[in-house]
Amino acid sequence: MLSMQLAFRNLIGAGLRTWLNVTVLSFAFVVIVFYNGMLDGWNMQAINDTRDWEIGKGQLWHASYDRYDPFTIQDSHGGISGHIRSMVAAGRVTPILITQASAYPAGRMLNVVIKGIDPDQRILELPTQSLAQTTNELPAIIGKRMASRAHLKKGDQVLIRWRDKNGTFDAREITIVSIFDSNVPTIDNGQFWIPLAKMQQMTGMTNEATLLVSREPLNNEAVEPWIYKDEKYLLKEFGEIMQQKKGSNKIIYGLLLSIALLGIFDSQVLSIFRRQKEIGTYIALGMTRSQVLKVFTVEGSAHSILALGLGALYGIPVLAYLHQRGIPMPKSADDAGIAISESIIPLYSFGMVLSTILLVVISSTIVSYLPARKISRMNPTDALKGKIQ
Amino acid sequence: MKTLMIIGFVFLGVALRAQDPKKILDKVDQNMSSENRMFESTMTIHGKRNSRSISSRSWSEGSQKSFTEYLSPASEKGTKMLKLEKQLWIYSPTTDRTIQISGHMLRQSVMGSDLSYEDMMEDRKLTDVYAAKLVGEEKIGDRNTWVLELTAVVEDIAYYKQKVWIDTEKYVPLRQELFAKSGQILKRMELQEVKMIESRWFPTLVIYKDMLKEGKGTEFRMTNIKFNVKIPDYIFTKAALKQ
């Protein structure tokens, strides 16, 4: 307790030097919380959006299907039968049939993917009910990115050409009945969503699907010959991107923290050099060397306590404001191909804030302790005389 | 007048019935197909603003094997293409790599032309894959033609229907229209400059037009055509791509 009192009294007594160190450290603290909060917010939003719009709570894939290999699409389709059929009937899974095609908006050719989906499905947030509420013979819904790329708007007709299961060309005009706005580009870019039954009829793949999206995890259910891919697997790449992002952000705030800690280290070296008489007096009054070392270490690490206080003073209103308003993302961020909304709502979890506090306190304690170790090697008599050691 | 018209129609009907569309198609195949062939070609692609030409040398054996080496322009020189049955590889000298073209990449156009890689891979005899029906006679330029409607008799065919205008004397197609199952026209080919080469009539200029795309089409002109020549086996190997 005595060491704490001494530490704070000395710190306050040091005046501007202390407050400069504290300000820089508090800035590093707030920036770390902000960066981590932004990434956690993005992560959470992207996972939720991807789950709601694309992957559900897991997917059943045809054995040949590989979402990263377009060459597999042609042969990745199989019949829905037995247990899987009853799951479809119960609304637990919804089938999607995929085929590659060419679209010809205004005489240009675009390579696209046509996806057939049940208009009555309720697992994904795609506005598939628009496909049911139309009298158009071949209706389609597309995302805003696809609409922009192909210069299409609601009500437009566009010719598409595809091959059926035997490889024979077929071509028809489809009508855009709805354009949806989703943060998930992987269900939007280059894709037309049409009714599943039409798709099966067009390709000759009656009662077949490429994959099925599940409403709930199916970890312990027999789904053969389909292959179950759980949420963790389907979000794996996104998790890796986040880890990479966090890694690069660590470098930025690591540099910032280093600058702040360097200030504390510098102050500690100077204090020990200039306050040798004081150190000698402490020892002469009966304190052990380790007790004196503790006083100086606590004094250094007390910078972090003050920094946390100061950071909280201006950081909480700023971070709360950002949490409420969100952080606007540039338009170009959408081209990255990963789910990102127009503005990110930062997420400040208790664990993240606590770990940041511990990082700041522990690191400042370490940099305070390192120069203070010199005290344990000091000769108290010389120190009392003020002899430079 | 009415009587004359009836007589005219009757004569036309008799004349059409007299021609067996299968035999016509058979003769067309005799002209157009060969065990193997070699030729040089110039493909002129007419774009919106300008046109560009690409020349190449090709070898083919039946409908399953073909090899093409691009000779000009400099940017394409050395590019080679090998087709073996349903597989297609392209070698690019700039990257010194061979890539296999499959899936949706087969639908891409060949060097910006109106031909897709898929089109280049379809090379079966018409009689093997289509049933023909004679639907009329028309004149194309100064040539008389029979108009045949072809409907696929096999399932694994790219174009379910074709309409072909066959020269009544030379038995070569002068025009070909390719249709989707829905009846939508997809491509049109005009075959011109029919020449007698090694005792068969053969069109040396084909103008392709992708009917779904804007543009003026692609001209494909063949020169130095040689039929049934001995082609070394190594030509149709992947190793030949890098040579």
DSSP state of A210: S
If you ran DSSP here, which 8-state letter would residue A224 be given? T
| Residue B146 scores a pLDDT above 60 | yes
pLDDT at B10: 47
The pair of structure tokens assigned to A55 is 């992957």
Q: Which residues contact A235 (CB under 8 A, 6 or more apart)?
A: A47, A50, A55
Joined together, the tokens standing for residue A358 give 């511990």
Return the domain boundaries, chain B: 20-242
Q: How far apart are CA B189 and CA B173, in angstroms?
A: 9
Nearest to A161 among B109, B180, B214 (CB): B180
CB B217 within 8 A of CB B209: yes
Contacts of B156 in chain A (CB under 8 A): 166-168
Mean pLDDT of B106-135: 79
pLDDT of the residue at A343:
79
DSSP A235-293: THHHHHHHHHHHHHHHHHHHHHHHHHHHHHHHHHHHHHHHTHHHHHHHHHTT--HHHHH
Flag whether the ipTM exceeds 0.90: no
What pLDDT was estimated at residue A56? Answer: 93
User: How many whole angstroms from its chain centre is CA B100?
Assistant: 23
Q: Which of A100, A104, A170 faces B103 most closely, judged by CB atoms?
A: A100
Q: What is the mean pLDDT of chain B?
A: 85
Closest partner residue to B159 among A106, A109, A169, by Cβ? A169
pLDDT band (50, 70, 90) for residue B107: low
- Reported as half-sphere exposure (CB side, CA atoms, 13 A), residue A83 has a value of 8
pLDDT of residue A243: 84
User: What mean pLDDT comes out for the span B122-151?
Assistant: 91
Residue of A160, A164, A168 best to disrupt the B interface, most CBs of B under 10 A: A168
- pLDDT at position B122: 66
Report CB contact under 8 Å: A168, B184. Answer: no
Residues of chain A with pLDDT under 50: none
**Chain A interface residues facing chain B, Cβ-Cβ under 8 Å?**
70-74, 100, 102, 104, 106-109, 111, 159, 161, 163-164, 166-172
Q: Which sign does the torsion angle of CA A122, A127, A133, A135 carry?
A: negative
The chain A residue lying nearest B162, using CA atoms, is: A169
Q: Which residue in B43, B122, B39, B111 sits closest to B79, CA to CA?
A: B111
**Class of the CATH domain delimited by B20-242:** mainly beta
Span B25-83, pLDDT tens digits: 999 999 988 888 899 999 998 877 788 899 999 998 877 788 999 998 988 899 999 98
Give residue B1's pLDDT: 47
Whether residue A169 and residue B156 make contact (CB cut-off 8 A), yes or no, is: no
Q: What is the pTM of this model?
A: 0.77
- For chain A, domain boundaries: 2-52+237-385, 58-216
Hey, are the CB atoms on B184 and A102 less than 8 Å from each other?
no
Q: Are B68 and B57 in contact (CB under 8 A)?
A: yes
Under 8 Å between Cβ of B205 and B193: yes
